[in-house]
Amino acid sequence: MGPLARYVGDEQEFHRTLWRRTPAVLHLRTPLTEMLTVAELDRILDAGLLTTPYATLVHEEGPVPEERYCSPRVVLGGIDNRYVDAGAVRRLIGEEGATLLLRYVDQWHAGVRELADGLAECFRRQVEAFFFLTPPGTQGRPVHRDDADVLAVQMHGAKRWRVYAGPPDGNWQPERVDGDPGDPLLDVVLRQGEVLYVPRGFAHVAEAAGGSASAHLSFTVREVGSAHLYAVLEALLLDGDGLPARPNDDAALTGAANDLIAHFHRTLTGLTPQELVHLARGTMRREQHTTEGSLSALLG
């Protein structure tokens, strides 16, 4: 079974009927044993090495000030205020209903990295992972749009999701939606072992349901925008022109201009729109994290 099929079942059916079209509830086909668990998260918090911005606390109305859950430490003679205090985090979650948001879990958890890399190969796009631990009856964020397609995997408890329509055109921002978002396209309680697909840009909001805390991991499938296309095209046009920095006379300057135009023409003539999009998506894909070898082997 391929990496994507573990979440969506029939991959062709998913792309044909759901991808970029409509939200839907899916079911895990196999257990995700690589997933970050809440018990493991407790150990990571207690270890004392977790820092912002990888770990933050948020309310529906906005972020919790970092000084409320971070403790200063002296490191190499300087004060570092980014280290997360485990006791403060648990207190703010339990007493004030804050949501714990872990960003880019794929960058610091080996199992989640493996899952994200598998999805990235399937989608040929950058995939990141975000973990949410939400107390009962609360929501960590207001109605908002994400600049990514989302696969949200419910790990513990239940969460009520409401998903609304996508943006009317291409001029939108990934931010909170002020005002009435309209009637939801999907209003569902997601339970352990279920997966919610939210198409890119579709407004949504989630709230812990059922009287217990909720934990879910969201895989975000990033997409390029016009700025990425501009940047890649500029890099292609400026690559390998070999022009002198300061032509000495008018003839040399005119010759350099001619060479530059010819280089641009060759580059643009040989480039298709599909190739430009492919190259832009490739620039978003982070470098593969290497794991060859072990310290134990070095020690014999």
At residue 55, the pLDDT reads 98
Listing DSSP states for the chain in one string gives --TTHHHHSSHHHHHHHTTTT--EEEE-SS--TTSPPHHHHHHHHHHT--BTTTEEEEETTEEPPGGGTEEEEEETTEEEEEEEPHHHHHHHHHHH-PEEEE--GGGT-HHHHHHHHHHHHHHTS-EEEEEEEE-TT--SS-SB--SEEEEEEEEESEEEEEE----SSS---SSB--S---S-SEEEEEETTEEEEE-TT--EEEEEETTS-EEEEEEEEE---HHHHHHHHHHHHHTT----SS-SSHHHHHHHHHHHHHHHHHHHHT--HHHHHHHHHHHHSPPPPP--S-HHHHH-
Q: Are residues 250 and 162 both part of a single domain?
A: no
At residue 298, the pLDDT reads 77
**299 in any annotated domain:** no
Q: Are residues 181 and 260 both part of a single domain?
A: no
At residue 202, the pLDDT reads 97
Q: Are residues 212 and 280 both part of a single domain?
A: no
Residue position matching structure tokens 């609304």: 164
At residue 178, the pLDDT reads 87
Q: Are residues 240 and 187 both part of a single domain?
A: no
At residue 289, the pLDDT reads 64
Please tell me the total count of domains within the chain. 2
For residue 146, the domain's CATH number is 2.60.120.650
Q: Are residues 240 and 258 both part of a single domain?
A: yes
At residue 286, the pLDDT reads 61
Domain interval for residue 250? 226-284
At residue 240, the pLDDT reads 66
At residue 287, the pLDDT reads 57
At residue 91, the pLDDT reads 97
| Single residue among 222, 244, 266 that ends a domain in this structure | 222
Residues in the chain where the model's pLDDT stays below 50: none
The pTM is what? 0.89
